Structure 1
Amino acid sequence: MRNYSHSDLFLLFFSRAGIQKICSHTNKQAGKRRAKGSKARPWNAVGKEQFCVFLALVLYMGLVRLPALADYWSEDPFFGAPFCGQLMSRNAFLGVLWNLRLSDPEADEENERKRGTPDYDPLWKLQPFLNDLQTSCKAQYHPNQNLSLDERTVAAKASIGPNQSPGDEPAKWGYKLFVLADSLSGYSWNFEVYAGKRRQASGKGLSYDIATSLMDRSLGSGYRLYCGSFFTSPVLFRDLLSKETGACGTIRECRRGYPATKPNGLDRKSPRGTVKWLRQEEVLFLKWRDVSLCTTFHKAQDGRRVRRKIKSRDGTGRHASPPAPIQDYNRCTRGGDQSDQLLDRCSVPRETNRWYKTLFFQFVNIATANSFILHREICEQFGQQPDTQKMFLRALVFELAGELYPLQTTSLASPYAMQHLPEPLARADATARRSKATRGRQSCVYCRRTEGKQIKTPWQCRSCDVPLCAIVDRNCFSKWHRRFLPSQTHACV
């Protein structure tokens, strides 16, 4: 049986110390605004529990989408969502959203006074939280050999902050992220927010600096990096190879270092399946049809064949095989696509006019996607059936809501909740008055597993058949079912 909950995995990326810092900065920002006379919304100091409920509502809004934010608290049964009103009032939610701050407001003012100087940090309002999340993502997962480096755009229309038009991306305007992901699982191992010209540039180009920065030294050697034409350059690939890291990616023929060999080149009249390749020491340049590729660990042909039927002039057809580097590139760049799919399926849909809040919600998506990948791999390791992403997020919302959401008061709770009721343990031969209170008691399963304590209880769950505390100051019955029941009906074994 699993000895972790969905919220345990999520809090690996949102640590309790990090949440406490966000709460402190948010309360300071609210006090600063109220001192200036802003009383648009009532405010009560937010703590860790209230902020976890705020995150639960944010994730819930990614699962259940309504046209407007106010519709989640609407009294109209057509749009209303009773779940939100039972967790937090609309004014309390909007108060946290309005005052949300990821950095110290006083430090923000000091950084703002440095604008126009080399010491100014354009990402300062996001940097403390960004550093913690990057450290957590790298610490909680060891990637496989193949890595994928790609660009990702966070859609936003605000004309402030590090906003730009990415051109080819599906989102035509937004903030750009550079993400290093595991090609097999899609886990986002490292990422960086584009903020314009780098303060410590190497002089070899932006793509070179980003790639070398994301390939952190703590990653080690022996990896194989797959990337797009924005990052691929012979200079980068040779430097990575000197660090015992192979690289493969599509390349623009106008790149510096690309061999300018026009004789015997490919044109539109070349037969389909024709391959041209050239090796310069350890770097292989290859062109197949209209694709140009550069690699440092492949052979031009290694004997692998993939059947591709090509229509011939006589109408009979023939078969061609793409080069091995092309096959591996198409297979291993799916990691970035898989990561994008995980983020888009249940992404937080909130739009704000503060750029750091928009990126914060994107980081919430990254944390939930990474925690789901950890859950899936742990289940596969122990031969268990993992939850779907939707059910994983549903259980995570219940667990983050914690004690503030009564499990059995509404039909929105777990459909199995009414089957799990407390009942007294069997008390055989408990006829004497003195023995009725103590005879038949057993150790609470929840206390033993979470705290390592042997606490006796006279109560058990009717369906789960496990002893659980059910008193006012130690309601293990409710905690047990909130922790395990939403995701697995057979978890209480």
Structure 2
Amino acid sequence: MSRDSTRKRKAPARYSEEEYEIDQQEEETWGVFSFQMPVSSDEEMSGNENEEEDEEEERSGVWSPGLHEHRSRSPANTSAGVASVNRSQTQDAWKTEDDPDTANPGPPTFLPKRTPGVQPPLTTGKQTPGAIFSQFFDAEVLKILCENTNSFAQKKKETGKPFPWKDLTPQELTKYLGLLLYMSVCNFPRITDYWRKNSIFHVSYPAAVMSRDRFLTISSHLHFSDPDVDAVNEQKMGTEEYDPLQRVRCLLEMISSRCKAAYHPRQHISVGERMVATKGRLQIKEHVDADKPTKWGLNFFVLADVNGYTIDYMLHSGEKQRASGKGLAFDVVAELVNREYLGSGYIVYCDSFYTSPVLFRHLIQQGFGACGMYKQGRTGVPTTKLNALNRKSKRGSIRWIRDSDLLYVRWMDTREMSLCTTVHPVHGGETIVRWQKTEDGRSQRAPLPRPTAVSEFNKYMGGVDTSGQMLTTNSVHRKTRRWDVTVFQHLLDIAVTNSYIIQKELSSALEQKPLSRQDFQEQLCAELLGVPLAEPPQTTGDGHFPSPTSKGRDIETSQRASKGRKQCYFCKRSTPWMCEKCGIGLCLQLDRNCFKIYHT
């Protein structure tokens, strides 16, 4: 035997050394018993070509297990087995947009539980921002929050240093929420800045509604669960009965049920995740490696409508008792996409974290459609390289494979997109204009074919992202070391954002111009504080005296009426008078007494 024949060959890529060594031993052991079938010259030539392709694959590092298996000399690999392998490879080859797709099932029949859109009682009469918001933070929610906060404050008062505490009422809690919204519109770096006096940044609203000390006391003792139940749960830490979300579970469930009650989504919905930053030390805080602005925090899984309305959500706590054994992504979608609440016929859009053949077939059984990007190499997705896209593929190239009720589509744009869908055809004639280089090297805009799944995915997948962007507008979120307060702030943002979306839906139904987000939040803030939006809060006249604006300046007496004037806060005219306590210009004339109007 020559040296070359005894030299051990290196296992190709994606083929372990152990498996390759076993295969070589089988060739040596069973080679003498192999069936020597007569072959024609054409078959012998094709066999030589296959061997050359195999050697080329080994050099390039690309390994196809199927091609190697049919060359094994094991008795299990007969000529019939070779034929079956070759047939499966032909069936699994990627097809192009020119190949007909005759097995498209189409979207499911849309049968929602309720009429999509805003639900009663918000559909009757003219609804103000405060009336819409009260559907989320209603009397029951305010009552439970007040009871838990008062109980927590009393226990802390008994076990710690005594401090003055007056029971929190729903009316006072409503004003507290109004101040939080006021601070989100008029943003100062510190809470105490809203009560600062003798400053050009002085604002009069907060002090007229609530004292600074009372606001800070409520903030430090705000509690969202029964303290007695919390104490029992803390004793279970380290066991399977311990609930890491006990402090906020009641609030999470109450706001979730009200989000679903006030609005019913339309046919296209999306599932995604939202990271909420927190400074608190807790076990359920997570880190994401993706290029996102918030990398550490609480991970919310969200079900959203295409308009950005948050339908439902889940706060991930790492709990395992409800795991189905099919992965976190499967459990999240299976819980959020609830047939009992939604009905059937909905089309769910998701990103590559959730997309899998197992999940999509489960949604089909539940009467839903699905579409989402998928990761190459995920279990169950096509892995064949035959006729697949590569770096040399032209922009606009389409490849697809249909696996029973699942359609896998790959499209080359500036980068490759891979999607799986259960409801879309391969290509319905859609095109998109892109810059393309011509043969002479110039660039011009040209239409390119685009798969239907890509068009629909780009159109309807943005619900979660739209919701996240709207939540950051005038957000009440402030840095705190209490993670439960962070959850409360996020749920308050969800309630305000959903209220704004409902206001837009109602205005559209009445063919009226909707309020902007800024105007909506200002009106909502004024309603919660109980102060008319067009008027400043009433203040007492104690300590408010008129003073000349030129007081203390080195100006001649004859010129003091014209030098150092200020703009009147009320009529915007120039005035030589100001309020000594408020520090603002106010007219003080017989026919224009703005000083009296402002302080009464």
Give TM class, smaller chain.
0.7 to 0.9
User: Cα deviations across residues 328-384 of structure 1 (Å, max 9, x unaligned)?
Assistant: 111111222221121111111322111111011000000000011111101110111
Please report how far the alpha carbon of residue 129 of structure 1 lies from its aligned counterpart in structure 2 after TM superposition: 0.9
Match of 2:470 among 335, 342, 345: 342
1:370 equivalent among 486, 498, 512 = 498
Cα offset, 1:243, TM superposition = 1.5
Deviations 1:282-331 (A, max 9, x none): 10011112211110001111122222232234235443122111111111
- The residue number in structure 2 matching 1:387 is 515
Alpha-carbon distance in 2 for matches of 1:104, 1:300: 54
Aligned-residue identity in percent:
37
2:419 aligns with 293
Residues 118-155 of structure 1 deviation map (CA, whole Å, 9 limit, x = unaligned): 11111110001111111111111110100011111111
Displacement of 1:18 in angstroms is 1.2
Q: Which runs of 5 or more structure 2 residues have no equivalent in the other structure?
A: 1-123, 540-600
Higher deviation after alignment, 139-148 or 312-321: 312-321
Where 2:281 maps in the other structure, the secondary structure is: coil
Match of 1:110 in 2: 232
Quick check: 1:360 aligned with 2:488? yes
Do the aligned partners of 1:152 and 1:179 also contact (CA within 8 Å) in 2? yes
Greater shift in the superposed pair: 230-239 or 341-350 = 341-350
Aligned twin of 1:21: 144
- 2:126 aligned with 1:10, yes or no? no
Secondary structure of residue in 2 paired with 1:50: helix
Equivalent pair of 1:42/1:91 in contact (CA under 8 Å) = no
Amino acid at match of 2:214: A
Contact 1:208/1:236 (8 A) holds in 2: yes
SS where residue 380 of structure 2 aligns? coil
SS at match of 2:271: strand
- Choose from 449, 457, 460 the match for 1:321: 449
Q: Helix, strand or coil for the counterpart of 1:271?
A: coil
2:387 pairs with 237, 242, 264, which one? 264
- The equivalent of 1:247 in structure 2 is 370
- Please say if 1:312 is aligned against 2:438: yes
Inter-partner Cα distance in structure 2 for 1:42 and 1:68:
23
Name the stretch that deviates more: 1-10 or 198-207: 1-10
| Counterpart residue number, 2:166 | 44
CA, structure 1 residues 407+319, in 2 after alignment: closer, same or farther (shift >3 Å)? closer
The one-letter code of the counterpart of 1:328 is: E
SS at match of 2:263: coil
CA contact (8 A) 1:177 1:193 kept: yes
* 1:332 aligned residue (453, 460, 467): 460
Aligned 8 A contact 1:23 1:51 in 2: yes
SS at match of 2:314: strand
Distance in structure 1 (CA, Å) of the matches to 2:261 and 2:468: 21
Quote how far apart the aligned CAs of 1:81 are: 2.2
User: Does the 8 Å contact 1:310/1:319 carry over to 2?
Assistant: no
| Aligned twin of 2:68 | none
CA–CA separation in structure 2 for the residues paired with 1:278 and 1:341: 36
Could you say if the C-alpha distance between residues 265 and 408 of structure 1 is closer, same or farther in structure 2, counting changes exceeding 3 Å? closer
CA–CA distance in 2 between the matches of 1:229 and 1:303? 25
Q: Which amino acid aligns with 2:419?
A: L
- Choose which of 327, 334, 347 in structure 2 pairs with 1:212: 334
Aligned equivalents of 1:382 and 1:4: distance in 2? Answer: 12
Q: Distance in 2 between matches of 1:164 and 1:270?
A: 39
- Alignment correspondent of 1:233: 356
Alpha-carbon deviation of 1:162? 1.7
CA RMSD of aligned residues (A): 1.8
State the SS of the aligned residue for 1:319: strand
1:310 and 1:320 in contact (8 A); partners too: no
Note if contact 1:61-1:349 (Cα within 8 Å) is conserved in structure 2: no
Q: What TM-score does the superposition give when structure 2 sets the normalisation length? A: 0.66
Is the partner of 1:150 in helix, strand or coil? strand
- 2:255 is aligned to 133
The amino acid that maps onto 1:100 is L
Letter in 2 for 1:163: K
Q: How far apart, CA to CA, are the structure 2 residues paired with 1:164 and 1:78? A: 42
The Cα offsets for residues 235-293 of structure 1, whole Å up to 9 and x where unpaired, read as 10011011121000000112111111112221111111111110000100111122111
1:38 deviates by 2.4
How far is 1:229 from its partner? 0.6
Whether the 8 Å CA contact 2:508–2:514 is kept in 1: the answer is: yes
Corresponding pairs, count: 409
- What is residue 530 of structure 2 aligned with on the other side? 402
Q: 1:30 touches 1:99 (CA, 8 Å); kept in 2?
A: yes
Q: Pick closer, same or farther for the CA change 1:401–1:336 going to 2, 3 Å.
A: same
For residues 372-399 of structure 1, give each alpha carbon's deviation from its aligned partner in whole angstroms, at most 9, with x where no partner exists: 1111101110111111111111111111
SS in structure 1 at match of 2:377? coil
Q: State the distance in 2 between where 1:351 and 1:17 align.
A: 28
Name whichever of 301-310 and 196-205 sits farther off: 301-310
Contact 1:161 1:355 in 2 (8 A): no
1:296 and 1:21 map into 2 onto residues whose CA distance is: 44
Q: Helix, strand or coil: the match of 2:181?
A: helix
Q: Who is 1:82 aligned against?
A: 204
Verify the 8 A CA contact 2:277 2:294 in the aligned structure 1: yes
Distance in structure 2 (CA, Å) of the matches to 1:157 and 1:354: 7
User: Which structure has the larger Rg?
Assistant: 2
Taking the aligned partners of 2:478 and 2:202, their CA distance within structure 1 comes to 18
Contact 2:522 2:533 survives alignment (8 Å): no
SS in 1 for 2:378: coil
1:389-434 alpha-carbon deviations (Å, 9 max, x no partner): 111111111111126x79745599xxxxxxxxxxxxxxxxxxxxxx
